[in-house]
Structure 1
């Protein structure tokens, strides 16, 4: 049975506005909470926004600050800032949740074919409920009355994190001071430089990274009408494509990727291997506009080689094993699943109901897809499915079914 807090938060039409009495939306709200001292947990990525927030918090000597960095298998910018955190008097907490992220969030997204309006696989929206969960767990462990993050009004993470924290039943204050305090990048950089932290002066964009996606936005990528992406932003897809093609086989068991070229791999390792092998051929670069809370749209750029390959492979194998009418119905459920994840309602009953349908269909999706990767992209070479619905010899099938029809007609 759902808890009272879960029932309040999980309505698909419930907006975050109902929690304004517990909502931190500007630095003045932090000042009010900080006067009483206590403890605060803040999500810390190592970027400009999160370090600036820590610097502001460090100016409250009675406030015990826990900076939480959650490892999801991506780039670890925060390693470069460890010295700065010590100077600020902040306790740095590292939590490795890459395996949890892959198992509980990415694997369901693969089976749900979670793609934003046909443009790109969903990415950061998968990590936000996990970040919220780890932050709430740490807050409960250390007795923190305040949980902070650094999403701003032009980032969907604002509602995803706030809604997730509320859905988890956190009783303290939470939110982002950047929701109403729109402090520019130049202002933050200048303040940190003056305070003795010059390393942030030349950061030209915001980034988010996990094992499923590397994502870039803001700064030099603000304007959709002109955004040549610097090649040095890319990592997985940065190499010059090899002259020789690659052949790669991906095995699925009940909808879950389990092996590459016959070698069993845990999902984080499997995704990592495909990011490298598919990325070498430039697969998985995406750019597109995503809506924010008021309906406006912002530009985001991504590289997701493993996601590109795994979502395609899953659909191929699903087509080989799942009846057509079930697949048609699943298309609408996929959009429902994706919408609920994108809107921050991961812990809601509607997303869980959609997930139950997706998981039931996935039970049939077992087999192997073999690809050829080359400079032109990817091509399917073989589909091998357990309990397959496809025909391997049409002529033989036609002869057999024709004889059956004749026998039926003469009986």
Structure 2
């Protein structure tokens, strides 16, 4: 368990990097996605005289373009550190999220809340490896990533400076593009929205998607659920669970990561798994986010069907409440906190009897279950037979015509 520090040394503006308190000649770790904000931060660090910058790119099975990322760091003269964390992301973060049915306020499955604590952990490990006393990221005040990363870094016990220089010192998009163009990075002007991707989700926000009252998502943003040139024939899909964990797809046993990857394409081909949602910022303001999560949609729905087949109604009602506590803790950046761990223990206890298979028919942009099979079901397969059996059982407790109940 990680202990929350009472205070930390914050980096909240670009000016704080140049006021002499932070050693720009010592090792500095930055989280680097290859986007406009993270590229511009590297540029500003180099311009300020930083000589030992370690830019970490974390691979989570998303849209990472390693050659482009390498070109940016090479152009800026910064050392790139790539960490392939796909397996850790799925096993340590997505798997617990499936058990917790982690859906934000009944609108969309959570995603970046799962990746940020892992990214923070990798950054702390790298900082300790190279002796860095500074970890920087580029989230701004309108992004929930700001508190998720900061809180994770704090709970992980990092003792140096950390934070986002954009929190109190935002830089206009046009300024970033102009200055990066001047050093040969022309491709930054092509970004019309901010994107985040991993094996579990592809997410878009900001820019052209700022206004909830008027937004239109270009079809080119989508990948898994992009409209096909020709109609997609009906598809039958089955998911097998053991102790609540997906272990087989269409009867084939395979790792969870492979199940997610295949379902993203299979379910997405039918246009399923798109989400539009509003998420809160500190203070209560809401921001628009667009998600593409085909595998998450089907897996969470399948698991809920299996839960309803096996668990009694009161237990499910209580789990629904605990799920939202779990989601809140993850959403606020407290993945490494005690309350989320306690909620996780609760949902895992309920996962033990969740063995079975859920089958679907995907067709014409719709999905319908065709079979829900549980190893230890509470469901009735023939209502008439069940009614007759229930009546016989009830009458057996009476005194065979005496009208007296025998306990």
TM-score, normalized by the shorter chain, greater than 0.5: yes
Q: What is the match of residue 117 of structure 1?
A: 105
- Asked whether the 8 Å contact 2:33–2:69 carries over to 1, the reply is no
Shift, 1:389, TM fit: 1.1
Aligned length: 398
| Secondary structure class of the residue paired with 1:317 | helix
Deviations 1:362-399 (A, max 9, x none): 11111100000011410000001111111112222222
Q: What is the match of residue 226 of structure 2?
A: 238
Q: What is the match of residue 66 of structure 1?
A: 54
- Asked whether the 8 Å contact 1:208–1:216 carries over to 2, the reply is yes
Q: What is the match of residue 343 of structure 2?
A: 354
> Which residues in structure 2 correspond to 1:177-326 (within 5 Å)?
177-240=165-228, 242-326=231-315
| Secondary structure class of the residue paired with 2:72 | helix
Aligned equivalent of 2:45, options 50, 53, 57: 57
Q: What is the match of residue 24 of structure 1?
A: 11
TM-score, reference length from structure 1: 0.94
CA distance in 1, matches of 2:259, 2:375: 21
Structure 1 residues 62 and 233: CA distance shift in structure 2, 3 A: closer
Q: What is the match of residue 404 of structure 2?
A: none
CA distance in 1, matches of 2:349, 2:284: 34
CA distance in 1, matches of 2:15, 2:184: 24
> Which residues in structure 2 correspond to 1:30-109 (within 5 Å)?
30-31=17-18, 32-35=20-23, 37-109=25-97
2:151 aligned with 1:163: yes
- Structure 1: any 5+ residue segments left out of the alignment? 10-17
CA distance in 2, matches of 1:111, 1:360: 10
CA distance in 2, matches of 1:88, 1:60: 12
| Secondary structure class of the residue paired with 1:409 | coil
Shift, 1:402, TM fit: 1.8
Aligned equivalent of 2:327, options 317, 327, 338: 338
CA distance in 2, matches of 1:34, 1:407: 81
TM-score, reference length from structure 2: 0.95
Aligned equivalent of 2:380, options 385, 391, 409: 391
- Asked whether the 8 Å contact 1:47–1:78 carries over to 2, the reply is no
- Structure 2: any 5+ residue segments left out of the alignment? 401-407
Shift, 1:33, TM fit: 4.4
CA distance in 2, matches of 1:223, 1:118: 21
2:118 aligned with 1:130: yes
